[in-house]
Structure 1
Amino acid sequence: MPESVAAARGQAELLGPAEVRVLSERFGVRPTKQLGQNFVHDANTVRRIVTSAGVGRDDSVLEVGPGLGSLTLALLDVVDRVIAVEIDPILAGHLPGTIAERAPGLAERLTVVEADALRVRAADLPAAPTALVANLPYNVAVPVLLHLLAELPCLTTALVMVQAEVADRLSAAPGSRIYGVPSVKAGFFGTVRRAGAVGRQVFWPVPQVESGLVRIDRYPSAPWSLEPAHRERVFAVVDAAFAQRRKTLRAALAGWAGSPAAAEQRLVAAGIDPTARGETLDTAAFVRLADTH
């Protein structure tokens, strides 16, 4: 459907390559590597992201790094509320105007919060979001994702676009060469899977890396406590196990447990082979280990 027809029907006019460049020039914005900015300019890609997220009318969506509004416009077409967290004050200031211009009937669904997503708290948001849908800044993608999953237990799903290599690591299974800290920590909150690939040419500027989609569905009934103190204990074990990933767990966890003998004792108590390596354990095993005394 032509975008002008979409506007006439009260739908959002999505951004294309020309519109992205026009808006960027109008606002005096140049994407920066420091903020991990690469703007999506392909309508089919943002529609695919929204579809993969599975969000609908009843959802309140948190979007991180909306930039010029490409994904924001696609989200507003299908959900009742979008809370966009943007660290760049220029982009945050102009986003409401772009939405009002290209989706006038949907503009009231948007709230922009100028903030650093790594530091945003539930109290900073106007409502409790049910889903995270975002093209995350690639330089801080994993820390932002883990922070938001921990800070916002109201999030039931997350569909994020990240660097392809990071997407592979997040969704890797135990025993894989790329399985590691991000895989285990993401698995603490829910089930993680790859949700597709995204080519370089849909971005401006064109990045040097391929991109991928990752979906996380929070456990309907958590198999372990998600309380902050417990999460910190589990994550401390994970960090220690992978800090020296070529060592056996008995050796790698000696500092965490107090000594190699103490590490072996706790590993045996958790039903884990002390000569195994961290990459062979699933998240549940790390939780058992953290809960031993």
Structure 2
Amino acid sequence: MAQKNFSSRKAGYQNHSHTQGKVGTGGGRTPRDRARRELSQNFLVDPYAIGLIVKAADPVGAVLEPGAGEGALTWALAKCGARVIAYEIDPLLAGRLTARTRENPGIRVVRGDFTKVKAPREPFAVVGNIPFSITARIVDWCLTAPALTSATLLTQLEYARKRSGDYGRWSLVTVSTWPWFSWELCGRIDRESFRPVPQVDSGILRIQRRTEPLVRDRKAFTELVELGFSGVGGTVRASLRTRYSGVDAALAAAGIAPDTVVAYVHPDQWIALYEALGMP
């Protein structure tokens, strides 16, 4: 799968965020500092980086934004014509963003936990600089939303690389959802693009729903993949032979060597394996 290699421009920003004022060298912590840490708040302040996210998302129609924060990405999405519903759990930030966007008909701010929101019935996308601490919860929410068309999420770079196969290895969540969703690393955002500056760089992870599923029986495919990842016997061959017949011939048809460790089986090979085993 082709990867896009982007990097954000480093700019000479002062070390501050709008919610905490300038960050000094003192050891004090204000209530806002504590809230920021608890809510994993790192605000995106680099216009170039924001542009990369918007370009990757290509927002059209309804867009849900988890963790809108101070609204830098919110405004950029709305300027592209998207109808943005911006979710922010921090009451202070939600109030400020509501006040600043009240006159913009393309933006609606909702104070609350995005992961507890009921997904819309009409087609929609998710775009957000999401809190690293709840990345898995937000991704799970997106994958289970029937009307979701895509999710473009700014995550820890390591997470984005693992899920997109950028390390040359594949995770269970990516493989098990591959017939229904593609996963792509669309860029890298330097940690200096945020205030406060986090400890790691970020990656733009795009999850795109396929127009047509690549397999018909989700339950059967998921069971096959989960057994392969179970680790029984140490290889995908050993794991699958505990339940399926004709595994050796199916592996050969899918181009998978008998001693292949499960993480190195490409998602497309899993689909070929599924078909070679005669599964519907």
CA distance in 2, matches of 1:278, 1:117: 34
From 80, 83, 88, the equivalent of 1:81 is 83
CA distance in 2, matches of 1:201, 1:277: 37
Partner of 1:137: 131
Q: Which has the higher contact order (CA 8 A, sep 6+)?
A: 2
> In the TM superposition, what is the alpha-carbon distance from 1:211 to its structure 2 partner?
0.8
From 192, 211, 215, the equivalent of 2:206 is 215
TM-score by length of 1: 0.71
Runs of 5+ unmatched residues, structure 1? 1-15, 254-259
Partner of 2:32: 29
CA distance in 2, matches of 1:162, 1:66: 14
Partner of 1:180: 171
Partner of 2:157: 164
Q: Within 5 A, what are the aligned runs for 1:7-46? A: 21-24=17-20, 29-30=32-33, 32-46=36-50
**Cα distance change of structure 1 residues 140 and 239 upon mapping to structure 2, 3 Å threshold:** farther
The amino acid that maps onto 2:191 is R
Q: Within 5 A, what are the aligned runs for 1:1-293? A: 21-24=17-20, 29-30=32-33, 32-55=36-59, 58-100=60-102, 104=103, 106=104, 108-122=105-119, 125=120, 128-155=122-149, 157-172=150-165, 177-185=168-176, 187-225=178-216, 231=218, 234-244=221-231, 247-252=234-239, 260-264=241-245, 275-286=259-270, 288=274, 292=279
> In the TM superposition, what is the alpha-carbon distance from 1:54 to its structure 2 partner?
1.6
Q: Which has the higher helix share?
A: 1
> In the TM superposition, what is the alpha-carbon distance from 1:134 to its structure 2 partner?
1.0
Runs of at least 4 residues of structure 1 off by over 6 A? none
The range that moved more, 191-200 or 110-119, is 110-119
The range that moved more, 68-77 or 280-289, is 280-289
> In the TM superposition, what is the alpha-carbon distance from 1:265 to its structure 2 partner?
5.2
**Cα distance change of structure 1 residues 222 and 95 upon mapping to structure 2, 3 Å threshold:** same
The amino acid that maps onto 2:265 is L
What secondary structure does 2:114 align onto?
Answer: coil
Partner of 1:10: none
Runs of 5+ unmatched residues, structure 2? 1-11, 22-30
CA distance in 2, matches of 1:32, 1:186: 33
**Cα distance change of structure 1 residues 59 and 195 upon mapping to structure 2, 3 Å threshold:** same
CA distance in 1, matches of 2:133, 2:239: 28
Q: Could you tell me whether the CA contact under 8 Å between 2:170 and 2:265 is conserved in 1?
A: no
Partner of 2:6: none
TM-score by length of 2: 0.73
Identity %: 28
CA distance in 2, matches of 1:95, 1:129: 25
What secondary structure does 2:182 align onto?
Answer: strand
The amino acid that maps onto 1:120 is V
> In the TM superposition, what is the alpha-carbon distance from 1:165 to its structure 2 partner?
0.8
1:246-272 CA-to-partner distances (Å, cap 9, x unmatched) read 81124445xxxxxx5424556766866
1:218-251 CA-to-partner distances (Å, cap 9, x unmatched) read 21222234xxxx5455445434433439811244
> In the TM superposition, what is the alpha-carbon distance from 1:292 to its structure 2 partner?
4.2
The amino acid that maps onto 2:56 is S
1:20-76 CA-to-partner distances (Å, cap 9, x unmatched) read 733456xx6335344332111122221221122222xx4211111111211111111
> What RMSD over aligned residues (CA atoms) do the two structures have, in Å?
3.5
